[in-house]
A and B are shown apart, each in its own frame.
Chain A
Amino acid sequence: QKEVEQNSGPLSVPEGAIASLNCTYSDRGSQSFFWYRQYSGKSPELIMSIYSNGDKEDGRFTAQLNKASQYVSLLIRDSQPSDSATYLCAVSGGSNYKLTFGKGTLLTVNP
Chain B
Amino acid sequence: NAGVTQTPKFQVLKTGQSMTLQCAQDMNHNSMYWYRQDPGMGLRLIYYSASEGTTDKGEVPNGYNVSRLNKREFSLRLESAAPSQTSVYFCASQGSPANTGELFFGEGSRLTVL
Contact = CB atoms under 8 A, between A and B. Distances in A.
Interface of A: 31-32, 34, 36, 42-46, 49, 51, 88, 90, 92-93, 97-104
A92 B43 CA distance: 14
Nearest to B98: A97
Interface of B: 33, 35, 40-45, 48, 50, 58, 90, 94, 98-100, 102-103, 105-108
Contacts of A97: 50, 98-99
B69 to A, nearest CB: 21
A102 B107 contact: no
B106 A43 contact: yes
Contact of A31 (B40, B99, B105): B99
Nearest to B56: A98
Contact of A45 (B33, B58, B99, B105): B105
Contact of B42 (A31, A43, A51, A104): A104
A88 B42 contact: yes
A71 to B, nearest CB: 18
Nearest to B104: A46
Report which residue of A45, A98, A102 has the largest number of chain B beta carbons within 10 angstroms of its beta carbon: A98
B99 A43 contact: no
A43 B9 CA distance: 12
